[in-house]
């Protein structure tokens, strides 16, 4: 079992393909109806696992590249060795590590700064808030200690904090119904540990910042978490209460539209976002269709998970890379093309390595 440049490259290809494939399947509401939104969320983990486990195993078959691709694959091993001991791959690895570290540290500082700011907001201890919050806890499956805070700096209702959990509200007057649905939505996010999932995926994106598919995964995963929360909240509601819940979202979206535009902090869960109206429409359609409590197709779900498992196994069954490697314990001073598809490498001790392609 080993990690090489080519096994990492294969992980990028397969992980991206699985994420994009799952995205397009998820956009079809047929899959949500058959699988359930929770299972779709788990399917996204297949692409994450494939990316963070870029190994070649004992059963992995090596497929040597041909033609122009062979020359491209040879360069990481040989091309840089002729003039310098510092290869292009080493430079890229350093850039990767530096940018990833900067992105992670920036997020950590942003998170800590946001938590300090949120903790300074006024805690709501009025009678209405206490009454409605108790009502939310009475219908929830777990009891959690979450502070309800409000501030003029908050533009939309949101939940924040892994250890010091808070529900943040704009400084507004709410009806009991509006406050109930807002608190229940954010309370459900905390129950489902959605904030922890978002933060972990964001850190994952910071590490693999160079992969375009990561940004698609992050955006759609945030939407999947919101859909899951909506369906959990409305699973046992009648049409009238669903209409009230959706009306509350519309009211919060309208209020957010009257305020200055502010970039959403990825370390929090927000009730609505005015940046992607199509995603709000999708949430409305799924809640109205009552997908939250429809019976899932167990046979279809099992078959679909089996398909993804087989794709994962297939992705590890082969790797495209040359069947030669540069001797890492020798100093290379030159390279000379020989007859046919072979070349020789001269070492400082006067010996030569001859490689055939």
pLDDT at position 5 is: 78
Query: Which of these, 313, 199, 348, lies nearest to 266 by C-alpha position?
Result: 199
DSSP 8-class letter at 163: S
pLDDT at position 331 is: 45
Secondary structure of 236-263 in HEC code, one letter for each residue: CCCHHHHHHHHHHHHHHHHHHHCCCCCC
3-class DSSP state of 265: coil
3-class DSSP state of 322: coil
3-class DSSP state of 301: helix
DSSP 8-class letter at 273: -
Query: Which of these, 179, 209, 12, lies nearest to 104 by C-alpha position?
Result: 209
CB 158 within 8 Å of CB 168 = yes
pLDDT at position 348 is: 45
Query: Which of these, 301, 299, 214, lies nearest to 39 by C-alpha position?
Result: 301
pLDDT at position 326 is: 46
Measuring CA to CA, how many Å separate 243 from each of 157, 254, 276, 281, 348?
Answer: 19, 16, 21, 14, 78
pLDDT above 90 covers a percentage of the chain that reads: 36
Helix (H) or strand (E) holding 155: none
Kindly give, in sequence order, each residue whose CB lies less than 8 Å from that of residue 281, ignoring residues fewer than 6 positions away. Answer: none
Q: Between vectors from CA 304 to CA 301 and to CA 310, what angle results, nearest 5°? A: 140
**What would the pLDDT profile of 328-346 be if each residue is shown by its tens digit?**
444 444 444 444 455 555 5
Kindly give, in sequence order, each residue whose CB lies less than 8 Å from that of residue 2, ignoring residues fewer than 6 positions away. Answer: 55, 56
Burial class (CB in 10 A: 0-12, 13-18, 19+), 7: buried
The two tokens of residue 131 are 């009454």
CB 320 within 8 Å of CB 6 = yes
pLDDT tens digits, the chain, 357 residues: what are they?
788 778 888 899 999 999 999 999 888 888 888 888 888 888 888 889 889 888 888 888 888 766 555 555 555 555 544 444 556 777 888 999 999 999 999 999 999 999 999 999 999 989 999 999 999 999 888 888 899 999 988 888 999 998 889 999 998 889 999 999 999 999 999 999 999 999 999 999 999 999 989 999 998 998 999 999 999 999 888 889 999 999 998 888 877 665 544 555 667 787 776 566 778 888 888 888 876 655 677 888 888 889 888 999 999 998 877 655 444 444 444 444 444 455 555 554 455 555 545
3-class DSSP state of 145: coil
CB 199 within 8 Å of CB 162 = yes
pLDDT at position 85 is: 53
The two tokens of residue 279 are 């995603």
Helix (H) or strand (E) holding 342: strand 342-347
CA-to-CA distance for 237 and 244, rounded, in angstroms? Answer: 10
Helix (H) or strand (E) holding 62: strand 61-63
pTM equals 0.81
CB 83 within 8 Å of CB 112 = no
């Amino acid at each position: 079992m080993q990690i090489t440049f080519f096994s990492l490259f294969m992980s990028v290809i397969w992980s991206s393909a699985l994420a994009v494939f799952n995205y397009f399947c998820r956009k079809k509401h047929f899959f949500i109806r058959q699988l359930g939104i929770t299972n779709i969320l788990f399917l996204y983990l297949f692409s994450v696992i494939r990316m963070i486990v870029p190994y070649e195993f004992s059963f992995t078959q090596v497929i040597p590249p041909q033609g122009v691709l062979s020359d491209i694959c040879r360069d990481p091993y040989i091309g840089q060795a002729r003039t310098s001991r510092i290869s292009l791959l080493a430079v890229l690895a350093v850039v990767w590590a530096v940018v990833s570290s900067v992105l992670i540290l920036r997020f950590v500082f942003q998170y800590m700064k946001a938590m300090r700011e949120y903790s300074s907001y006024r805690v709501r201890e009025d009678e209405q808030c206490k009454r409605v919050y108790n009502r939310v806890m009475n219908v929830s499956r777990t009891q959690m200690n979450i502070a309800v805070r409000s501030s003029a700096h908050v533009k939309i209702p949101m939940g924040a904090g892994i250890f010091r959990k808070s529900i943040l509200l704009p400084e507004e007057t709410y009806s009991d119904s509006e406050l109930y649905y807002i608190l229940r939505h954010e309370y459900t996010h905390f129950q489902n540990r959605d904030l922890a999932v978002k933060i972990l995926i964001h850190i994952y994106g910071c590490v693999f910042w160079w992969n375009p598919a990561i940004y698609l995964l992050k955006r759609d995963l945030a939407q999947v978490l919101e859909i899951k929360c909506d369906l959990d909240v409305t699973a046992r509601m009648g049409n009238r209460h669903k209409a009230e819940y959706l009306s509350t979202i519309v009211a919060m979206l309208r209020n957010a539209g009257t305020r200055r535009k502010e970039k959403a902090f990825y370390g929090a869960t927000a009730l609505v976002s005015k940046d992607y109206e199509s995603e709000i429409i999708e949430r409305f359609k799924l809640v109205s269709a009552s997908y939250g409590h429809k019976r899932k197709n167990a046979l279809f779900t099992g078959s679909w998970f089996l398909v993804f498992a087989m794709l994962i196994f297939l992705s590890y069954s082969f790797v495209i890379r040359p069947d030669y490697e540069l001797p890492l314990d020798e100093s290379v001073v030159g390279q000379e093309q020989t007859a046919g598809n072979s070349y020789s490498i001269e070492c400082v001790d006067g010996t030569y390595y001859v490689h055939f392609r």
